[in-house]
Amino acid sequence: MNMRMIAVSIATLILGWDGLSASQNRIHPEFDLLDVEGYKVIESHNPVSTMKTCGQCHDTEYIDSHSDHVRPQQRVAYEFESPDPGSDVPFDADWLKTYGRRHVGGGPARELGFEMNCFLCHIETVDREAMMGEMRRERFEWAVTASLGRTGLVARVGDSWIWKRDALSEQGRWPIDRIALRGPTDENCGACHGLVHRGSAPLVIPEGNPAELTMTLRTGSIFSGQRINDSGISTVSKEQTIRPWDVHAERVMRCSHCHFSLNNPAYSLEIAATRPLHLRFDTRRQSFSEYLHRPSHQFARGRGSMDADPSNEPVTMRRCETCHDAGPMHRWLPYPELHFQKLSCEACHIPTSPMAAVREIDWTVAGADGKGGVRYRGIEGEWGDPNAHVTGFQPVFWPRLDEDARTRLAPFNVVTTWFWTAGDPPQRVSPAIVAAVFHDGVACRPEALERFDSNRDGVLSDEELILDTRDKRDWVAARLTDAGVVNPRIEGDAQPFGIHHGVMRREFALCECVSCHAGESRLYADLEVSPTAPFDAEPALRRTGGIGDAGRIVRATDGRWVARMNREGDDAPEFYVPGADRNAAVNRIGIGFMAVVVFGVAVHGSARIVTGRRRRQ
């Protein structure tokens, strides 16, 4: 069996299985909805228990025990809702009431009654509002049931939920022919992770909580196969922008094709490091029935941008070259192997983001909603405003340590969070305390208006709420001190986010030699980090996600903070880019050669002249 046959077999298996999961009703049998005691809910009138219901066939205890989505010590990575992302916080009722909208339940939440909500990812129409409503009322045991509100299986009656017998099957079971249970769709993933879109309706930025567009906000990525010029987003040169938002989405790939369940036998592929030399393809694998009984809910993942130590979290996702054979498609490229060693695929295939992304989150101030100001890059106008003009941005190229221990250039967006800290060791100041400086709970404080309301309209806009002068900074610090904050000071946390989605196909990729190998090299282009940093504050770069030493935040000559890659002449340069970098030794050798040539020509010419004269004489 040659490699092509192996690849075809694997692809067939993957696609075949994928088709199976997408076929929705064809595989999943009808089942009883059970409550936590194991009684049918239609008789007990209790909330549904997924542990019991789904546990009739699937090992729900196993799923609940290992999945990142439910695991204890869930890290709060919601930098848009807290000035302190990345730290561990108590997993309690308050946490669920705040962040539960994007939590799948289970794990520690189970102790509060919020079981793993399988329906969030396995049915099409989830009623998140109803689910959150129950959580806000601390009726966590009803949250899963409420999320079925749009299926018609349950109806709210007063403060409670009633199971509707006529909506169930004749046997009182889940009507699988009407309400499909299937593998997660892009929409299921996108509900928490970012903007995904399918279909022919023009893509627009949805209304609602932008914090749920994490991937899009952090990196500008949109997972959609729609061509940009067909979308409803006003972009630069839209009519000519005929590429899709993501070529993989255009080619009908789904989130779960790359972020697959780790024990899904369809994706079983032994890595070269552990594969015996004599064996190219191992046919032995877990059966589908075994998989369906205990499907791993740990999904293939790349290196997390916020992972401080690359060895902490194993990278389980395949690399581009697992599916793609770059060689045949890059025959036009001089020194292809060298390029592949120095550049990540993303560097050339995601050289720009057509979509805007977050640039800064400023918790040193607070708006009327008590939250920090969010500033974007690549957009003229308000995020979510259909009239806003999206200009996109060019990510910075920074070296990234890959799993094969090579350092390659990869595109990053940098999101800087500004916040107040206090005490020693420093603790981040609560947003509520900062908000109280600006608002009295009803309206803006007059003294805040006096200092910040530059247009005197009685409202503090995001543009006005900036601590760009010593006076403003000191005034807020004084108010915080008055509120009991000890030694308040501003810190900036510059978090790089690797960009992996929004891939362009070859026609739109970076492929002109002069783009990189020239004085104005794209590889060394700056990314603006903060044009409006709080007065005298300095962003500190988080070296997470495998970023090498050559990536740094510097103050440009015009005073702006920018993300930049070190080059020849700087400290710790990691790359020498011919045509873009100056190397003294190379220059000296070149000048030497030049001098020798000129000298040779001069000597030869002189000799010819002299001998010519002699000959004539």
Partner 1 sequence: MLIKFKLMLSLLVCLCLVSDEVESAIRDNPRAKVPKPRSHTDHSTFFSQPFPDGSSVTRACLECHKSAASDLMKTAHWNWVGDEAVLAPGHDQPVHIGKKNLMNNYCIGIQSNWVRCTQCHAGYGWEDDTFDFSKQDNVDCLVCHDWTTTYNKDPNGAGRPDPKVDLLAVARSVGYPKRANCGYCHFAGGGGDAVKHGDMDGSLLNPRERIDIHMSRHKLECIDCHQTKNHLIPGRLISVSIDAKNRFDCTLCHAPRPHKDMRLNAHGSAVACQTCHIPRIAPEEATKMVWDWSQAGDKEREKRIGDPHQYTAIKGEFQYAVNIAPEYAWFNGTADHYLLGETIDPEGVTAMARPLGSIHDATARIWPFKVHRGKQIYDLKNRYFIIPKTYGPGGYWTEFDWDKAARLGSQATGLDYSGSFGFASTEMFWPINHMVVTSRQALACKDCHGQGGRLNWESLGYDGDPAVRGGRLRTGILIPESEGGR
* Contacts to partner 1 by CB under 8 A: 15-16, 18-19, 22-23, 185, 198-200, 225, 227, 242, 244, 249-252, 254
Nearer to partner 1, 101 or 198 (CB): 198
- Per-residue tokens: 40: 């049918």
Q: Is residue 337 classed exposed, middle or buried when 0-12, 13-18 and 19+ CB atoms within 10 A define those classes?
A: exposed
Nearer to partner 1, 21 or 67 (CB): 21
Cβ atoms < 10 Å from Cβ of 158: 6
Reduce the DSSP state of residue 321 to 3 states and report it.
helix
Nearer to partner 1, 171 or 237 (CB): 237
Nearer to partner 1, 328 or 441 (CB): 328
- Least Å from the CB of residue 354 to partner 1: 16
Tokens 């196969």 correspond to what residue?
225
Reduce the DSSP state of residue 589 to 3 states and report it.
helix
Which are the contacts of 590, defined by CB distance < 8 A and separation ≥ 6? none
Q: Are 550 and 517 in contact (CB under 8 A)?
A: no
Nearer to partner 1, 245 or 419 (CB): 245
Nearer to partner 1, 199 or 276 (CB): 199
Which are the contacts of 86, defined by CB distance < 8 A and separation ≥ 6? 75, 76, 77, 79, 306
Cβ atoms < 10 Å from Cβ of 176: 17
Closest CA to 532 of 385, 418, 372: 418
- Least Å from the CB of residue 23 to partner 1: 6
- Least Å from the CB of residue 359 to partner 1: 31
- Least Å from the CB of residue 439 to partner 1: 45
Nearer to partner 1, 236 or 449 (CB): 236
- Least Å from the CB of residue 243 to partner 1: 9
Strands (E), 195-303: 196-197, 223-224
Nearer to partner 1, 203 or 467 (CB): 203
- Least Å from the CB of residue 19 to partner 1: 4
Measured CA to CA, the distance from residue 559 to residue 351 in angstroms comes to: 26
- Per-residue tokens: 253: 């790939």
Closest CA to 191 of 212, 208, 221: 212
Q: Are 383 and 443 in contact (CB under 8 A)?
A: no
- Least Å from the CB of residue 198 to partner 1: 5
Nearer to partner 1, 131 or 249 (CB): 249
- Least Å from the CB of residue 68 to partner 1: 26
Measured CA to CA, the distance from residue 371 to residue 384 in angstroms comes to: 17
- Least Å from the CB of residue 244 to partner 1: 7
Dihedral of the alpha carbons of 37, 40, 45, 47, in degrees to the nearest 10 = 60
Q: Are 375 and 220 in contact (CB under 8 A)?
A: no
Measured CA to CA, the distance from residue 2 to residue 294 in angstroms comes to: 32
- Least Å from the CB of residue 358 to partner 1: 28
Q: Per-residue DSSP letters for 156-178?
A: EETTEEEE-GGGS-TTSS--TTT
Nearer to partner 1, 199 or 458 (CB): 199
Q: Are 45 and 163 in contact (CB under 8 A)?
A: yes
Radius of gyration of the chain (CA): 29
Q: Give helix 470-482 / helix 431-438 axis angle, nearest 10°.
A: 110
Nearer to partner 1, 23 or 606 (CB): 23
Nearer to partner 1, 179 or 533 (CB): 179
- Least Å from the CB of residue 225 to partner 1: 4
- Least Å from the CB of residue 202 to partner 1: 13
